[in-house]
Chains A and B, each alone.
Chain A
Amino acid sequence: MSQLGRVKQWNTFARCWHLFDAAWQNPLECAPSIEKYLKGLNKPIYHPLVDCGDHVVVINSKQIAFPGEEWRRRVYFHHTGYSGGATWTPAWELHDRDPTMIFRKAVYHHMKGNLFRRVVMERLHIYSDSNVPEEVIENITNQIPPLRSIPKTLGSYSKEEIEKYPKIIDYPEDFILSKN
């Protein structure tokens, strides 16, 4: 192979690193788009037997969101292998124990089970908050857009913003809005 052919090959199969912010995102909805990058489905060179997947760094997995009653109703099953060893852990409890587990399981279960699944999962790096090691941050070259926009919570408004907000009526002076 000529010198140019070698570096061409290297460039074609270079692994990119993507960043994904999981705050306020539903992990079950995110799984397909994360899987796309992990397996390299978005690349023209993709083939099931070609190792062309990218790395994905997921941050803020502690702040994932589930719709409705999902935190209480969704149950994760585990069996120790011994008789009577079955346990059913609700999602909120599992999330308390390990904030990265629900996201990891969501991606893992979305993928088709084959010998490559665990290899592909090794390229998924999940962090519960935004404290990511510097050497991992330096690798990142792309950001995966969040599926849902993050709503602004009432508590995040500053005092000035609240005062500037247009009012319909003026409350009487002795009217108590909140105890704070």
Chain B
Amino acid sequence: MSEPHADAGSATGTVHDLGYKRYAGARSSAGTRWRVILRNQIATGWKTWWRFKASLGIAVLVTFIAGGVMFILRDKMIRDFGGNFAATMADAALPKSIEWYTRAAFLVSLTIGARVVAGDMQSGAFTFYFARSVRPRDYVLGKLAGMCALMALIFVAGPLVLSLARLGLSDDMPQLADTLHLVPKALAIGVLGTVAFAAVPLAFSSMFGNVRHAMALWAAYYLVFGLMVSLLGRASHSWIGALDLATALEAVANKVFDLQLFRGRAGWVPWDAALASLLAHTGAAIAILAVQVRRAYGAGVGGAS
């Protein structure tokens, strides 16, 4: 097949053909369709600056600032108000940066996550997908993996770079060995945040056939409900603050990095409740997404019946 001729002229009323050959090559198996959806998800996210690049820029900025603080003030000790706990800036910068990565991740969840499935429903793309050899599980897996890949650039890459930077600031080999544990910990927190902040907005997105409604409800849940439970948890000194995704992630990060000071709103949240909240949010979100997609499967094919 070749490109159209330059003098092809207007299409109207004419049957054009570039020559046709029956495709005789191999087709990839249906089990690989999720990878195509994943690639498309990343490509779509990367297309315009406001969808992903702006948030990635914020995450890069956070990494630079936290890394800078880590380097410049590496030996400066900070203490809590009671003087009970102390840490060097080099050790505190990484766990404290999670809060900022969370903000960047929320922006991505709003500009991509909450839009994805609702947008597909709104534009009739479910028919486009499911009239092909795409099964509901391929769609769910592809969209989830695509979102995770984008989120990982914020949640995993940033903390990982900072943990490596912390290793680089070690004075000697024993200190390097002592701080080596930061790398898997940064990865673990990054993966936890990535999966939660990918799955939950997708679930909200799947509950509405309208992009704006899905975005509004996700934003309301994250910001309004999150703030309410966070304040309530602080006021009542209870686990309830763990229902806020950002607070829960910070609480787990504080525990994992053993940060005892300046824990903010997450200070009142038990880490196990926070971890349970993150896992429950993620599990429920994936279940909702799978059920909603399964329900919509084939609805548009063959008409509206």
Answer yes or no: do A and B interact.
no
Q: Which residues of B contact A (CB under 8 A)?
A: none
Q: Which residues of A contact B (CB under 8 A)?
A: none
